[in-house]
Structures are given as structure tokens and as C-alpha cells.
Structure 1
Amino acid sequence: MLHLKRLILMSACVITVSAWALPSDREKNIELNADKATFSERTGVMTYSGNVVIQQGTMRLNANSIVAQLNANKQIQTITAKGNPATFQQQISVDKGLAKGQGQTLVYNAETGIITLTGNAILTQDGASIRGNELRYSMNVGDIEVTGNQQRRVQLVIPPSSNRSFPSVKD
């Protein structure tokens, strides 16, 4: 029974990540692969390490490691993915191409709905891209804030085609 309880809690990390994808993706199986998975019921920390891949439909997250912090109600509070880089992709809607993002670190805050990409952060879709040192994206509102530094200024690329728009998860 304890093994089943841990498996259910570890699956919560995957289910939260799947909220970024197409509605039809939520009907697909969730597949998580990693070299190692641990859960501490005392601290509420789930850790996946070693070539971590989470996939559900068109949503795919690749990282060297993922750490999920649970709140007192055993719900996901934050998910931190680290890689070289950590990457994600998803099909936002049927009429747009894959949205792809990457950064050295990706942090998803389930309470605010904000995903923060840091370390050579980039978000691309349909030929448009935005990059900087840090990119904060609100999945609830659709706002994007990008900051640069002396080594990496904010760069925005908009393709000439008028039917393409700035990359965002919500339109």
C-alpha cells in the first residue's frame, strides 16, 4: 500500500506538467522515464534523476533532474527541472506549430501558474523566438517577461509572415 501511495504522489508531478499541453493530450498516457526516482514523505520532495523524460501526447520535458516539492496537502507546489539545457515542447493548439522552450533551469510554480526559464532561456514557435537570461511566462494570463544581462541581452525574432505571431502558450 505504501508503494502505491508513493507512486500516486510521484505521478502528481507528471500530471501537473501535462496541464501545459493540448486538451486532447490530457487523455493520453503519461510516460515518465528516469534512471532513478525517490520520494520523501517526511519532506514532501520527489526527485527524478538521470536523463529524465516526461511525455504525454505532444508535451515532452527533458532534463538531467527534476525535483518536485509538495505542499501540506500533498499537491505540487513547485517543479524544478535542470539540464544542459532542460527542454520542453508542446502543441499549444491545432493551428500552431510546436512551442519549444529551454533553459539551464526551468521552475514551474503551481500556485501562480508561472514557469521561469533561466540560463540562456529561449521560447520559440512558428519561426518566432524570444531569448534572454531569464524568461518568466504566466500560463494563466499569457504574459511573458524577459530579462537580459551584460552577456545576453533580450532578443526577439519575428518572421516576416503576417500569419505568424509571437510565441506564447495562450493566444
Structure 2
Amino acid sequence: MIEAAIMVIFPLCLAFAALTDTLTMTIPNRVSLILLVSFAVLAPLAGMGWADYGQHFLAGLVVFAVCFALFGIGAMGGGDAKLLTATSVWFGLNMQLLNFLTYVAVFGGLLTVVLLVMRIDRFAAFRLGPVDHLLDRKQGVPYGIAIGAAALLCYPSSVMVQYALAGGN
């Protein structure tokens, strides 16, 4: 049961966050809260030691500090900052976190370039249906897409998945 929760909760939360950010340019607070609470409950039940457990929350604290500064200067949205923080807790303070953050930066950069190109006047005739707002130059970039894509790409090699595959041992 714990292994199934580890394999399902994280990917579903990140997919939902990416989808809602795409459709509404917001990431519900409950997604970040579910990620934090589920990690807090599942990690010790899966057999994670207390030192490692604390190190995962330290990763979240470090990412939160950087995100808070970026939010403070207007370079990052609040939902993106909360989602990135909660997701970082699942990776821990290690190379997996660095890989995840690198992919977030790469995917976020690509997404930004694509949206900037699509927002040029000659693309104004294109309609994207429920995501037409993405073509609005006044809108920001739904970074939840990049965070979700990077998280889903990196999650299979994460410590939590290794705990799940080992059956909590």
C-alpha cells in the first residue's frame, strides 16, 4: 500500500499542477500541501532514516529560500515557488535535486521561448481553444508545466521510487 502511494501520489500531483497551470495560470495550494504531507507520512513508513528524512526537508528549505527571493523580486509566481519547494522535498539534497532543477530550467527556458514566439503578432490568428490565454503577452509563463515535466522525468530515479521498489527495505 505504501509503495503504491509513493508511485501514484507524486506523479498525479505534478500532472494535475501542470494541467491546472496550463488551463488557469494557477497552481492550487492543495497540490503543494498534498505533496508535503504525503512525503512526511510516506517516507518514514517506507523505511527512510531520520537523517535522510531531515535532509529531504532541508532540500525543501534551501529551494524555498531561493524561490522566496525570486518571488520577492517578481521573477517567480507564488504557486510555482510552492510547487518547486514541495517537489524538491521528494528529491532530497543530492544530485537528484540538481538534475531535477536543471531540467526545470531547461524546460522552462524552452517553454518561455515557444510562448514568446507564439505571442508575436503574426501568430495571433492561431487559436488554442481553452488555452488561448497563453498567447496573451500580458500573461506570464505557466512554469508549472516545466516543473511537472522535469519532475516526471526525474522521479523514476529518485530515492522515494527506490524505497518503493525495494518494498520499504
Is TM-score (shorter-chain normalized) higher than 0.5? no
Q: Which one has the bigger strand percentage?
A: 1
Higher helix share: 2
Normalised by the length of structure 1, the TM-score is: 0.25
